[in-house]
Structure 1
Amino acid sequence: MFRLDENEISFPDPEIYDGHEGVIALGGDLSIERIWFAYQLGIFPWYNPGEEILWWCPDPRFVLFPGELKVSKSMRKILDRNVFTFSENQNFREVIKNCQEISRRGQDGTWLSDELMRTFIQLHEYGLAKSIEVWQDGVLVGGFYGLQIGKVFCGESMFAKVSNASKAGFIHFVETHRDSLEIIDCQSHTEHLESLGARMIAKKEFLKILHENNERR
């Protein structure tokens, strides 16, 4: 297992290093510089708070191409009835806080540590991370956040306090930004996102798309 040097921001090349079951490296820190560099390489942190940081680049990778978005008839009716309203970057702190605190089926606790939250809030303040908020009658009922790297959106986490809130927010985001996004990185498989058209692709294909559409590289 490749151990990171805390005094140097670097990672093994995920194009040639497979790691162990998608884990590329361990250790390091959660500084904004390291997080931003990692995501530009297609690497993301995922670990249990209190344990050593694990850095992942799984193969295959779970993604959604905007042109492959699937919207069911029932969801289209909900969107057409304006059950929800949407905004972007209006309440990043509340979105990420809810993503940390929301109870999830089959999970005990959260992988989203306070330190990682602080880093993403800083990235948001630098204009690198964004949030999508879903409102119902003026109350925040859903949303998600992630990093924008050129034409690639790296989704991190989402939450919903009422049925269909996060799904509606995701559909709205994809349809609104369809022309400016090449791909949405969903990282790991969920049935929720698979129902919306997300699918697995080879790591090599994902990294090629990421590098070709990363305007900041």
Structure 2
Amino acid sequence: MSQHPFLLPDDPHAPFPPAHLALRQPDGLLAVGGDLSVPRLLNAYRGGIFPWFSEDQPLLWWSPDPRMVFHTQDVRLSSRFRRGLRRSDWEVRADTAFAQVVAACAQAPRPGQQGTWITRDMQAAYGELHRLGHAHSVEVFDGGELVGGIYGVAIGRMFFGESMFSGRSGGSKVALAGLARRLLEWGWPLIDAQVENDHLPTLGAVSMPRDAFLAQVESLASAADTPHDWQARFGRLPARDLSPPGAP
């Protein structure tokens, strides 16, 4: 195994090195350099690789082992939170405020982190992915106010989550639960959550060995079901519908 990350060539269509060649320390660091062009980003996600770097770092590409994922049927909200949703007027939508969601994610404070990896270049790159129908946001609104959201990249029947935020308590949970509800209905079984933190397992995220994750991505990303018009297909989902009748 290489003891250093691979240096990517200038050609944005050049393949990435296999993910299993990523370093163990730091866990999952695979490559350095390249750019955030659409072909490069799509190649990365299809290979189970994602960019993650700070403003003062070179462009870094990662594929950690294990990988955090949500099975769409297993995203969970606490009983107390679901009881509160029954009285909620919040509504979940998709692709009506993509740039706002990404900007809010960039500004959200993260415990133990200074600054953000969602740099201006990252925001522009994912904005271009969104314009071309590859990146999508799920938003939670209280009337006309954006109170939570999540965004990521969709390829085939695979959704690669990038970041989420809460403008009000619980906003990100509702966005995630709404996303999982729709993906489950569409037959999309997984949401990539990238790396573990203390919060994700409380919502149902689990660790998956990288080899198993890559096998799932290879199968799901090649499926012919990438809806570009998420706004219409997703529709409008009342948050109270995320708490089924009779649920505790």
TM-score of the pair, normalised by structure 2: 0.83
* Aligned twin of 1:17: 21
Q: Once superposed, which parts of structure 1, at least 4 consecutive aligned residues long, lie more than 3 Å away?
A: none
Which residue of structure 1 lines up, in the alignment, with residue 147 of structure 2?
A: 141
Residue 131 of structure 1 pairs with residue 109 of structure 2:
no
The residue type equivalent to 1:85 in the other structure is E
Q: Shift in Å at residue 79 of structure 1? A: 2.5
From 5, 8, 19, give the equivalent of 1:4: 8
Amino acid at match of 2:116: T
Contact kept in structure 1, 2:156 and 2:223, CA below 8 Å: yes
* Corresponding residue for residue 221 of structure 2: 214
Please tell me whether residue 154 in structure 1 is matched to residue 165 in structure 2: no
State which of 191, 198, 212 in structure 2 corresponds to 1:191. 198
Q: What letter is aligned with 1:111?
A: W
For residue 98 of structure 1, the aligned residue among 94, 104, 107 is: 104
SS at match of 1:213: helix
Partner SS, residue 130 of structure 1: strand
Unaligned runs of 5+ in 2: 225-248
Kindly, what percent of the aligned residue pairs are identical? 35
**Residues 25-62 of structure 1: per-residue CA shift (max 9 Å, x gap):** 11111111111110111100011113111100000000
Matches of 1:196 and 1:102, distance apart in 2:
19
Aligned partners of 1:151 and 1:79: how far apart in 2? 28
CA deviation after TM superposition for structure 1 residue 106, in Å = 2.4
- State how far apart, in whole Å, the 2-side matches of 1:19 and 1:104 are: 25
Gap change, CA 1:80 and 1:138, over 3 Å in 2 = same
Aligned equivalents of 1:196, 1:151: Cα separation in 2: 21
The answer to whether residue 174 in structure 2 is matched with residue 163 in structure 1 is: no
Structure-2 separation of matches of 1:7 and 1:83: 49
1:67 is displaced (CA, Å) by: 2.0
2:207 aligned partner: 200
Taking structure 1 as the reference length, what is the TM-score of the superposition?
Answer: 0.94
Is the contact made by 1:75 and 1:168 (CA closer than 8 Å) also made in structure 2? no
Using the alignment, how far apart are the partners of 2:101 and 2:176 within structure 1? 14
CA distance in 2, matches of 1:29, 1:18: 19
Distance 1:138 1:68 in 2: 30
**After the TM superposition, which of the residue ranges 127-136 and 207-216 deviates more from structure 2?**
207-216
Question: What is the CA RMSD across the aligned residues, in angstroms?
Answer: 1.5
Deviation of 1:169 (Å): 1.3
Unaligned runs of 5+ residues in structure 1 are none
* SS of equivalent residue, structure 1 residue 119: helix
